[in-house]
Amino acid sequence: MAVELNAFDVFEIAEKIERNGAKFYLKAAELFDDFNICSLFQELAGWELRHEQVFAKMRKQLSELSRELRTFKPEDKLLPDVQAMASLAVFGIKLDPSEEFSGKQSKSDIIKIAIEKEKDSIVYYTGLKDFVPDRAGKDKIDDIIKEEMHHVRILNQSLKQRQHLENKSAGDFNP
């Protein structure tokens, strides 16, 4: 029997991922004294928390629309474990998803890690869409993906600015 998740389950997973994404970005903000980079990571953390609220609202709306979209038939033998699915995600469900910070990474390194996590989130949500039948709100998963793509664009822009400043500073040094 194939495992099917519904949009309700996917939004529950997304809420956990977004909560942990916020923890990740708040920890990243603590690593640097640079106001601009701290502000960027704090802003991303805020967006992750707002996304969690958006996904919770979407899940609530779905549950109000139809009980069928959020429940499985009693004869289903293999129910998906939402916790296990979330643990496979990029930010996962670990208590502290920022444990990978060594304290030795540069600002650009941290931004690159964040970009990869956001890209991985897009891949994760895209893969989850395959588990969600059309009748269960599959199209709503695209909203999640669009939000994560927006994060990638902002982080890429910040990385380019950071690299430009680093190159400019290196070019100013004339021994």
CATH number of 7-172: 1.20.1260.10
Residue among 131, 128, 134, 136 at smallest CA distance from 69: 136
Q: Return the C-alpha torsion angle 58, 61, 67, 69, nearest 10.
A: -40
User: Residue 82 above 70 pLDDT?
Assistant: no
The whole-number average pLDDT for the span 95-109 is 73
Average pLDDT, the chain: 76
Residue 110 CA to residue 19 CA, distance in Å, equals 19
Tens of pLDDT, residues 125-160: 887 777 666 766 677 788 888 988 999 999 999 999
Q: Which of 37-41, 94-98, 148-152, 153-157 has the lowest mean pLDDT?
A: 94-98
Return the higher-pLDDT residue of 67 and 163: 163
Give 52-75 pLDDT, tens digit per residue: 988 888 778 777 666 555 444 434
155 contacts 114 by C-beta, under 8 angstroms: yes
* Torsion over CA: 88, 7, 126, 17 (sign): negative
pTM of the predicted structure, to 2 decimals: 0.74
Q: What value does the mean pLDDT take over residues 79-94?
A: 55
